[in-house]
Chains A and B, each alone.
Chain A
Amino acid sequence: MSSNNKKWFSLNLSNRKKEQSSSCSCGNTSGQCASQQTPEVIDNEQNKDGFEQVFDVTMDRRTAFKKLTASLMIGAGAVSTSCSVISSDESKEKAQIDWEEQFKGNYRLMTDEEKQATVERLVRSYQLRTGKTINMSSKNAEENVLFGYAFNISKCQGYMDCVNACVEENNQDRNSQMQYIRIHEMKEGNGFNFGEADDNYYHEVPAEGHFYMGTQCFHCDNPPCTKVCPVKATWKEDDGLVVIDYDWCIGCRYCMAACPYDGRRFNWSQPEVPEEEINKNQHYLGNRMRKKGVMEKCTFCVQRSRAGKNPACVEACPTGARIFGNLLDPDSTIRWVLENKKVFRLKEDLGTEPKFWYFMD
């Protein structure tokens, strides 16, 4: 885990063993120490912000030049517009916003004021570009809330209303038909056989001898996707939502590979939503407009759930197969389901602890 792990073979000509340097206080040099190094790194990062977060890291020359060039372009733009007498106030403001956005830090490390500021910048930027006003929230996780989801396999009939609602609510790319939810049509008596399931049926539903189940991001309590992110652009919030900072994501898709549930989606092209269909009630970590080359996924509709609403899929489902709520509230319906129905989760043996349970009538 440390710098000793060389990827190449080197001859030890001096015949002297290098002393293993251990950064852990417990003196344990084996793999056990890996977990203890992480907090230190985070502590370091917390002191950095904006410019420092971008530049005060070890990087190779190529990356440094790339970042410098990009920043210089924006800087040059900002300088030329702000000094120019011809350019309007609006373009000066736009340059100012671009400058600040270029050097903004990781959302997770921002203070509440910084979160508010970045959200306001994005709203203003959208206004300057399109002339339309959106509403973007930076609401944090509420105390005493842990979101959980239950899915009734006996009730789902495969109507796909959830998918439509999700696409509209979360401003998903219409061209590539990006969808967070998949509904699998499965043959009764064969168990969960995802290989033989039909995800793209088009006939009257429910079909004879079949049952339907939906999958999406399960918001694991022990998410493998957040651990593999090399830039910490994805993490688990205190209310259990696994979220992505789209502006910090570099699009390496490690998280997509790490997810055992096919929960994550990648923007292969510039996502496009017709202007009149854009949902203007947005959250920084939720349904704000994404760009090409970043990951996205279900956020349990963070813009809705943190305001007390049900996610769009729950609201749209005409069968009541989808149940959402606060796992910490002993009187919530989700808790009643977990305590009174025979619930199970997918791939429980992986220890990912998904907060998404299935049950039957």
Chain B
Amino acid sequence: MINKYKYILLLGCSLILISLLFSCKSHHEDEYHNIVDKIEAKSTLYNGTSISSEAYIEPNTIEITEGEHTFLIPERKSQITSYACTECHAKPLGELQDSTKYKKAHWNIKLKHANAHTMNCVTCHNSADMDNLKSLTGEAIDFNRSYNLCSQCHTQQFKDWKGGAHGKRIGGWAPPRASLTCVNCHNPHQPQIKSKWPVRYNTQKEIERD
């Protein structure tokens, strides 16, 4: 009989203990060990948000799909001052190369991209088809998709750009995604970005520091 009471007492005690354990646990603010666990757990239930960045994207964009990434980039052809090239270049380039007969054109463009062993004008431009760029194997590349030209050599940058680690996002953070393309920041003829002065100087901090 006493044994039975003892048993019941023990059972009761353990029940109370268990319930206390759980009630204490439920008080914890967050059930995740760290932020990465939290992100992983919560994003399995992700089903979109009502926030969209559509309103902030400039109208002149084109949609591209590269691998598993689909996003918008600014349209290019309308931004090139003298496109289409064939509006001037009626004759094939070969006929224009006699410098005694013709004035030098595009004198303002200097190529500072790789070295002369690697690149000259016709690495990217096609003298037979001026309105398109050309790949290393001679295939036509549209001016709107010039990133295909850059990605032939700059593979790591291309990979990062597709994913979103390289290059500038425009519009907002929410979908749809819009990013600048290579030539929006880098001049393809002189891709190195020059040094410049910072836009502000903190006089107050300078005073405080002295």
Q: Chain A residues in contact with chain B, CB under 8 A? A: 24-28, 32, 35-36, 39, 142-146, 150, 152, 155, 157-161, 163-164, 176-177, 179, 199-206, 221-222, 305-310, 314, 317-320, 323-337, 340-341, 353, 355, 359, 361
Considering the chains assembled together, what is the distance between the CA atoms of A202 and B209 in angstroms? 14
Q: In the complex, are the beta carbons of B35 and A308 less than 8 A apart?
A: no
Considering the chains assembled together, what is the distance between the CA atoms of A222 and B28 in angstroms? 12
B134 within 8 A of A: no
Choose among B45, B52, B163 the residue that contacts A333 (Cβ–Cβ < 8 A): B163
Encode B179-210 as 1/0 by CB contact (under 8 A) with A: 01000010000000101111111111110010
Considering the chains assembled together, what is the distance between the CA atoms of A310 and B173 in angstroms? 5
Q: Which residue of chain A is the closest to B29 with respect to CB atoms? A: A35
A/B interface sample: 7 pairs, CB < 8 A: A150-B165, A221-B38, A310-B169, A323-B165, A329-B48, A332-B164, A336-B165
Q: In the complex, are the beta carbons of B27 and A35 less than 8 A apart?
A: yes
Q: In the complex, are the beta carbons of A333 and B197 less than 8 A apart?
A: no
- A179 / chain B contacts, CB cutoff of 8 Å: 202
B60 within 8 A of A: no
Q: In the complex, are the beta carbons of B169 and A314 less than 8 A apart?
A: yes
- 20 further interface pairs, Cβ-Cβ under 8 Å (given A35-B29, A36-B24, A333-B165): A26-B24, A35-B27, A142-B50, A144-B46, A146-B39, A158-B198, A164-B199, A308-B172, A309-B53, A320-B180, A326-B173, A327-B43, A329-B43, A333-B164, A336-B165, A337-B165, A340-B165, A353-B34, A359-B165, A361-B156
Q: Chain B residues in contact with chain A, CB under 8 A? A: 20-21, 23-24, 27-30, 34-35, 38-39, 42-43, 45-53, 55-56, 156-157, 160, 163-169, 171-175, 177, 180, 185, 193, 195-206, 209
- A176 / chain B contacts, CB cutoff of 8 Å: 204
Choose among A206, A306, A314, A336 the residue that contacts B164 (Cβ–Cβ < 8 A): A336
Interface majority SS (helix, strand, loop, mixed), chain A: loop
Q: In the complex, are the beta carbons of B200 and A163 less than 8 A apart?
A: yes
Q: Which 7 A-B pairs have the closest CB atoms?
A: A333-B164, A320-B168, A336-B163, A177-B204, A160-B198, A353-B35, A308-B174
